[in-house]
Structure formats: structure tokens, C-alpha cells
């Protein structure tokens, strides 16, 4: 096998056994992280839960719900030490491919207005703002709106 292939991260289905590593990343990168229960529920509900691994190292993951021709990207995360190296873009491309292959015509996601990095990533991919959910997220000292972004597939 060539070095190029050996060094390329791979998309691998998420299992319960991944959750300790997933939660370590989750807790490090979000002020209000998903809990073990949130991931466990997603796995049991057979949402599309995928990890992005380089050998044994967990670099990132996403959770996608596809139903009735619509896809909802519920979680997209890259380990802090691996950010700004293109992994988030690769994961997002894979999530979009998966959503298309499952028959979705539109993808939706929510993002905090304060999350400038994620907003920049989504805008690069052509996402447009569809709505605002007032006070959707918990935030330090109150609540924060969610921007609902959408992309036709
Ligand atoms: C958002 C996130 C998934 C992006 O992952 P990533 O691997 O850093 O993304 P990429 O390296 O593919 O970035 C692609 C482009 O997005 C934009 N971008 C990503 N992070 C950015 C940041 N912190 N500030 C500004 N622009 C950013 C840039 O345009 C970047 O291209 P560039 O590095 O050539 O300038 C990652 O920062 C993350 O996990 N953040 C914490 C969790 C989170 O907020 N998830 C999204 C919830 S909606």
C-alpha cells in the first residue's frame, strides 16, 4: 500500500465502543457538548453516525439524520488539534454524499451565530440561511439563537 493511502483518514461507522474517544473531543470543543446519551440515542435510532479515523486516531465525526427526502446534520466535529487542516470539509463532503445517496434533496443544520469558524465553512459550501430559531441554544448567562442553514443537494 502506498504512503498516500496509508496516511489518508477513513470514514468508519461509529459504535458504542467509540464513545469515550468521541466524548473526549466533544467535551473539549463545545461549551455545551452532546452527552453520551445523545450519541447513544443517535446510534440506537440508526442515524448515520460516522467517525473519521487516521489509523487508531479519532480525528472527527458526524451524525446525520435522513428522512422523507430531507437530511439534518446534527453534529459535525473535528478534534481541536486537527482543525484547519481540511478534515471538516472532507467530513462535510462525505455527509452530503451520504445524504444524496439516501435520497435527500435538501440538507439542514443549525449553527450558533457566534460560531464564526463553522459559519465560514458552511458558507464556503454554499449554505444559505433559511430561518432563525430564537433562544434555541443554551449559552453562558442565557440562551443563544440558532441559524438554520440549508443546502440543496
Ligand atoms: C467547524 C469545524 C468542524 C471545521 O473543521 P475544520 O477541520 O477546522 O475545517 P476545514 O479545515 O475543512 O476548514 C475549511 C474552511 O472553513 C473555514 N473555517 C474553518 N474553521 C475556521 C475558523 N476557526 N475560523 C475561520 N474560518 C474557519 C475556513 O474558510 C477554512 O478554510 P481555510 O482553513 O483554508 O481558511 C471545526 O472547527 C469544529 O469541529 N469546531 C467545533 C465544533 C463545531 O463548531 N462544529 C460545527 C457545529 S454547527
- Indicate which atom in ligand 1 lies nearest the CA of residue 82: 7
Pocket test for ligand 1, best of 72, 88, 96 (most atoms within 8 A of CB): 88
Instruction: Determine if ligand 1 sits within 6 Å of the CB of residue 1.
Output: no
Give one DSSP letter per residue of 77-146, joined into a string. EE-GGGTTSSHHHHHHHHHHHHHHHTT-SEEEEEE-TT-HHHHHHHHHTT-EEEEEEEEEEEETTEEEEE
Convert the pLDDT of each residue in 97-106 to its tens digit.
999 999 999 9
Q: What is the pTM of this model?
A: 0.95
Instruction: Determine if ligand 1 sits within 6 Å of the CB of residue 9.
Output: no
| 48: its cell numbers | 448515520
Distance CA 39, CA 63 (A): 8
Instruction: Determine if ligand 1 sits within 6 Å of the CB of residue 85.
Output: yes
Convert the pLDDT of each residue in 15-43 to its tens digit.
999 999 999 999 999 999 999 999 999 99
Amino acid at each position: 500500500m502506498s504512503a498516500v493511502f496509508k496516511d489518508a483518514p477513513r470514514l468508519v461507522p461509529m459504535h458504542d465502543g467509540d464513545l469515550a474517544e468521541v466524548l473526549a473531543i466533544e467535551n473539549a470543543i463545545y461549551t455545551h457538548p452532546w452527552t453520551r446519551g445523545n450519541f447513544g440515542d443517535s446510534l440506537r435510532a440508526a442515524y448515520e453516525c460516522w467517525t473519521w479515523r487516521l489509523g487508531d486516531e479519532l480525528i472527527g465525526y458526524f451524525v446525520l439524520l435522513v428522512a422523507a427526502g430531507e437530511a439534518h446534520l446534527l453534529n459535525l466535529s473535528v478534534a481541536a488539534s486537527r482543525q484547519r487542516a481540511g478534515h471538516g470539509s472532507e467530513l462535510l463532503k462525505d455527509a452530503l454524499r451520504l445524504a444524496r445517496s439516501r435520497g435527500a434533496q435538501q440538507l439542514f443544520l443549525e449553527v450558533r451565530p457566534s460560531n464564526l469558524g463553522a459559519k465560514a465553512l458552511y458558507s464556503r459550501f454554499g449554505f444559505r440561511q433559511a430561518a432563525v430559531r430564537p433562544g434555541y441554544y443554551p449559552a453562558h448567562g442565557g440562551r443563544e439563537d440558532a441559524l438554520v442553514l440549508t443546502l440543496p443537494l
